[in-house]
Structure 1
């Protein structure tokens, strides 16, 4: 075997490994992270060799494995660097569309660019790129979806899956922009996932429909949100403890919101406490299910347990959870998320009358938001909180 053939065999083997373990991970098998960690060096080497030789599909397959590894372990800055390096390999600079002959690879690669834009809160950029993906996917899937699903072959189901994934991602961006229109894209993606019997994809769509009905003012309905979180829990396979943990944490979030509504409506204390207890139970179950390297999910559940503990007047427990959430956010390089958690801690401390400590947390939150793009609203809220804290420390009323 000559040197080029041997190199190609290695690159193909590593690309196959990256592709296989990506499917395993997305199917709920999080144990593959251990294998991907062990193979990281080989995947990076295969990526480099594939670029050198113009084996573009192999570049993407190696990147798929690295995507799951870096995403799971919160290594966002490293992943961003890898993506930025290969933009010229797949993207026509004047149109942002694919280079000739690299359309399939462009579609997968653009998905990575969209994810990074969302992480950086560059939502207009993310939306623009995602619209390109949807247009491309709809064009390919059009003749297929006009046939009955039972007539689709494996390749056609993969094409439909690509469209469903693109629609789901677009819905995510719309939801992050506060648009109720996200529900339409989520429902279309869910329908397509069900048509190809993709239970994992359907579970993710259901989970995010729950987010929409929990978080968006124009849609907010806790009963509907709870329905979709429960549906997502049913769809996740038993072995997908991470996915099921996310659902449980969100069911806890619904109970926490019910507690807040009951408290504000001055409902009987026992009713309020029942909601808060259920929220704590669900979130603790989720925390026990999350693996130690699932940093993003651990950050979320610790923040929620901080909020729950603070409302239950367990301030030291709340501060422990806020500290853990901040630690996980910082390990991911997520200054915006760290700022949100620090803001929550500052508000809890201020409510408890510990204004000096509250000021420290609020000032740290302010520094986080100042380091982020598109955080104007959070900056304003933090400045207002600091104003109230400073007034309390001076023993004066804040200006109206």
Structure 2
């Protein structure tokens, strides 16, 4: 009998289901997204990962067994573990982004499960916006499809640094090595055109239904010598938060407690979007351009000499400035540019098309300002990897570059330099709905 090393664990509550999830402590976190065309087996693959990593509660598994038996199936339908709503299961489609949580002794995972239908590309944008890696599925019998190329282009646009192509249903082609090789070569060539290098793209032949190369390596693919999908996810390097980037702190709240102990306390609270802030750092407050020095950095646990990206802090300055929510405190030596004219890339998410002259709201960090579209510059063709100049409009799921003029200047970075301060939302001023995901600059400007 093989002995295993005990792993310290912690219990957390999953926000989407309310269920308690047990995660090992002292492991790093990988945020990943899945994408694929309809019926490629994505839900089954995610269900297999959850099942084989023992990340499924007993009552959930019992429910899957009962539902599978009611359908006359001999084996449990693991896709039921991730297809969220009864109505969508009855239609045979998944129509929302669902977040799943699982863990192994090596790493914890947050997985954004996105839908496959072409009309839900906007959900792929949502699910992939924070992903450090994306798993794309293709059916081994169908190969790389139009939607596969579309998803890859969106992932490249959003700056997802690593891709895994899972060639699913390899059992349906008799575990044929040549089928996997041809699909891998076609997809890798497409990924290269999007800017991915060989070390950022991995292809793995899998059978989600039977578990081949999902958690354990399969003996039925002796020609494949790479890792299983889970082994790759456990060991792939995770890009750290951008600690080496210039410091950025969008101010969420101004704290003035007016206590007897410290009646003059004035702190600026928010989450460090990039870089590191330390006591004594020279900073600039934007968009006003006021310069000061950090006198203290507070956290819920007390003062700290420094705080890095991802940490919520309250920064105190030596000067008493009129700073408000929406301002940005940044490194004085390398601040973002401040402008009321922005060249941006939009992933249009609304049914109503975007046209030049449209009046919008732009939400950047903690600041929301009025804006209008000065021009539609290009529309990106994600199949041909080319651009169409001066389009008349941007339709649902289309991606294009636009010119925006804002009512107030905004401190922005290019998205390629800083995702957090280089991204924004476009909002309908009439009803507050989200119209587009915006990126400062043109990440795919190299497309010809």
Query: Does TM, scored on the shorter chain, surpass 0.5?
Result: no
Higher helix share: 1
Scaled to the shorter chain, the TM-score interval is under 0.3
- TM-score under structure 2 normalisation? 0.24
- TM-score under structure 1 normalisation? 0.26
Higher strand share: 2
